[in-house]
Structure 1
Amino acid sequence: MHDYSPFSKHFDDGIILILVYVDDLLITGSFKSGIKETKEFLHSKFKIKDLGLLKYFLRIEVACSKRGIVMKQRKYVLDLLFETRMSGCRPLTIPMASNLRLTAYEEGRNKKEELLKDPGEYRRLIGKLIYLTMTRPDISFFVQSLSQFMQTPTKVHMAAAKNVLRYLKNNPGLRILLSSRHSTTLRCFCDLDWAACHTTRRSISDYLLKIGDSLISWKAKKQEIFSKSSAEAEYRALSVAVSEVI
């Protein structure tokens, strides 16, 4: 595995998985007897407390049904709206207007681009929105755009970030379903926005991966190299997506 947090062990009857975060553990697997034995073994070595079925972990709400496992961050969104005093705002149906052009701050260029008195407020907000993209791929593209202005955020950037909050209020409980339907079909979708960054003229690559009906991976990121044509940018976006598949 590419992460140090998950551990796995294969048995004749299946597999057991353990996810570690500080002093919290998630234990799951493909057979119940193996999960029970794993808990008993850990309890014999350490003092642990079994909290039962997973419902809430790292601000992610989890619910199980016959359709599969549902993951959402509704409480996280509502808390974020309360913290930013946006609970009573008017909701939006889109996170950001398509004709909005965000650029980095340049002194003396535009009077509207007034720097924020507390840039830390913007940075904290973007950090929380980045964490929210774990279950909200619908805002990934817009959050990556806003995260490019962390160094010198302006009131224009903050207004755009608050529009994302207004969009979240429109449907705070949007969720991801990890389907219980058995399928090993891997599907990948990728796209790009050519020269989308108005400062560097670099393109934005996006990809999305699904196994069966389950969404498992997604990303929106600015390409590291300037592409002279949309065709060149398309190939770069495809390369990033294929690398994720591999």
Structure 2
Amino acid sequence: MVTVRSIMALAASKGSYIYQMDVHNAFLNGDLLEEGYMVIPSGFAKQGETHKHTENDIVVVLVYVDDLLITGSNQQLLCNTRLDIKKKFKMKDLGELKFFLGIEFSRSNKGILMSQRKYALELISESGLGGAKPTCTPLEMNQKLISVQYDEHINEGIAEGDNILTNTTKYQRLSHMNATLRVVRYIKEAPGLGLLMPAGDTSKLTAYCDSDWGACMETRKSVTGYLVKFGKGLISWKSKKHETVSRSSAKVEFRSMSACTIEITWLI
């Protein structure tokens, strides 16, 4: 999804059109004698570099199984590219992008809005919270969730690390369910809320990273995280609990900066 968000942010900043195409039949009829996929028409780069360009313009084609997103800086080149692909494959041209991978896309003079309103409404309904009161925050402030097994160890006075290294999902408490339902109630506050990829030409990447030393109450493992913005559009973020216990807060900070630097390098 980082790739999709990045392309959306780039298209919004440049004012580029985005079209969607779909393969009529993605199933194979007969024996597969050689591993492979779609043969990209001549003039396109190989897999991993799927784009077509002239001296001043470029077309980018994102391929996900049997769905294609096509965007670029030149409208005529976009039309020619779609025609080239339709000559090689049996395709359905779905026009401008509206819905892709469960995400709804809407465009205005402010940019491109990505949201999951349909999925959010289904989640609220399936959770039985259609009549519940919404909440303005996903979690209570400074809330820490612990497992039943950890709680039992504490009560028994057995707090050694080896005894409490456990997967909390196997020993969930009522607090875990309440926290989950609170997240759904938070979504209910604004089910159509999404990510806006703003219009306006930019090529600036901005990144932030942080760490929480010894954040896990059970294992004292640290959590690091980062986010990256293209202009004012959020395109990448990640948080991670580390496998080992860090002996210093400085070490965790360096881990956070390292992960962030790797992501920036890849995006560039």
Secondary structure of 1:51 counterpart: strand
1:211-230 equivalences in 2 (<5 Å):
211-230=230-249
How is 1:153-192 mapped onto 2 (pairs within 5 angstroms)?
A: 153-192=172-211
**Equivalence for 2:225:** 206
Q: Which residue of 1 aligns with 2:30?
A: none
Q: How far apart are residue 228 of structure 1 and its match?
A: 2.3
Q: CA RMSD in A?
A: 2.3
* Aligned position for 2:132: 89
Residues 191, 37 of structure 1: alpha-carbon distance in 2 compared, 3 angstrom cutoff:
same
Q: For residue 50 of structure 1, give the secondary structure of its aligned residue in structure 2.
A: strand
Contact 1:95 1:163 in 2 (8 A): yes
Structure 1 unaligned blocks of 5 or more: 111-147
1:10 corresponds in structure 2 to: 53
Give yes or no for the alignment of 1:42 onto 2:42: no
Counterpart residue number, 2:143: 100
C-alpha distance in structure 2 between counterparts of 1:153 and 1:19, whole Å: 40
The CA distance in 2 between the partners of 1:167 and 1:29, in whole Å, is: 37
Listed as ranges, the matches of 1:20-169 within 5 Å are 20-106=63-149, 109=152, 149-169=168-188
1:194 paired with 2:237, answer no
Question: Could you give the per-residue CA deviations for residues 170-227 of structure 1, whole angstroms, max 9, x where no partner exists?
Answer: 1222221112211122211112222111121112112111121221111111123322
Q: Which runs of 5+ in 2 are unaligned?
A: 4-46, 154-166
Q: How much does 1:235 deviate?
A: 2.1
Count of aligned positions: 208
* Higher alpha-carbon deviation: 148-157 or 93-102: 148-157
Q: Distance in 2 between matches of 1:82 and 1:154?
A: 23
Contact 1:149–1:157 (8 Å) recurs in 2: no
Choose 92-101 or 32-41, whichever is displaced more: 92-101
1:36 positional shift: 0.6
Percentage identity across paired residues of the two chains: 41
Contact 1:6 1:20 in 2 (8 A): no
Q: How far apart are the structure 1 equivalents of 2:132 and 2:48?
A: 38
Match of 1:243 among 259, 262, 265: 262
TM-score by length of 2: 0.70
Change (3 A) 1:49 1:151: same
Kept in 2: contact 1:92–1:170 (CA 8 A): yes
- Name the aligned partner's letter for residue 197 of structure 1: C
Instruction: Note if contact 2:149-2:171 (Cα within 8 Å) is conserved in structure 1.
Output: no
Q: Distance in 1 between matches of 2:184 and 2:240?
A: 21
Distance in structure 1 (CA, Å) of the matches to 2:103 and 2:205: 25
Q: Distance in 2 between matches of 1:193 and 1:75?
A: 34
Higher deviation after alignment, 216-225 or 162-171 = 216-225
- Note the C-alpha offset of 1:61: 0.7
